[in-house]
């Protein structure tokens, strides 16, 4: 179960995204009352079971995949791209930065309550390959 501080960090980051601000996990940790020493190690929060529960509840992989699909097909991609980027970072599905890495179809399938169907897996793999070629 997530702690009140973890929930505050999560809400602070989401609120920042909605306002168009870039807020780091460390910055959100400081606002939530974590010490500077602890805030220098955001993985203490982001690798916890409570954090994973929060991200799975509020940022389910199915929702992220729909956003990816919207990015590929949509018109107003900049706003969605910002939200998707932050969501993927929060969930740890790629390394902090601009390059997609560590995005693994098997991992995504295993984190969902229902596994991805074969068609969705193929589409996701195609997107990952396309993304790597664009980097």
Domain boundaries, the chain: 1-58, 61-135
Per-position b or e across 114-124, b if 16+ CB within 10 A of its CB:
eebeeebeebb
Contact between 33 and 56 (Cβ < 8 Å) = no
- Residue, of 33 and 120, whose pLDDT is higher: 33
Lowest model confidence (mean pLDDT) among 38-47, 87-96, 100-109, 115-124: 100-109
C-alpha torsion 38→46→55→13, nearest 10: 50
**pLDDT at residue number 49:** 92
The angle subtended at Cα 6 by Cα 112 and Cα 114, nearest 5°, is 5
* Over residues 51-71, mean pLDDT: 82
**pLDDT at residue number 40:** 93
Is pLDDT of 16 > 50?
yes
Q: pTM for the complete prediction?
A: 0.54
């Amino acid at each position: 179960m997530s702690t009140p501080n973890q929930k505050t960090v999560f809400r602070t980051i989401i609120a920042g995204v909605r306002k168009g601000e870039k807020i780091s996990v460390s910055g959100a940790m400081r606002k939530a009352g974590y010490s500077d020493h602890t805030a220098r190690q955001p993985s203490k929060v982001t690798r916890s079971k409570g954090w994973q529960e929060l991200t799975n509840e509020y940022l389910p992989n199915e929702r992220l995949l729909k956003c990816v699909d919207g990015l590929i097909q949509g018109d107003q991609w900049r706003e969605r791209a910002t939200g998707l980027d932050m969501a993927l970072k929060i969930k740890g599905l790629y390394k902090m930065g601009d390059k997609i890495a560590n995005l693994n179809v098997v991992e995504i399938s295993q984190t969902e309550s229902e596994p991805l169907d074969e068609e969705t897996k193929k589409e996701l793999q195609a997107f990952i390959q396309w993304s790597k070629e664009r980097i």
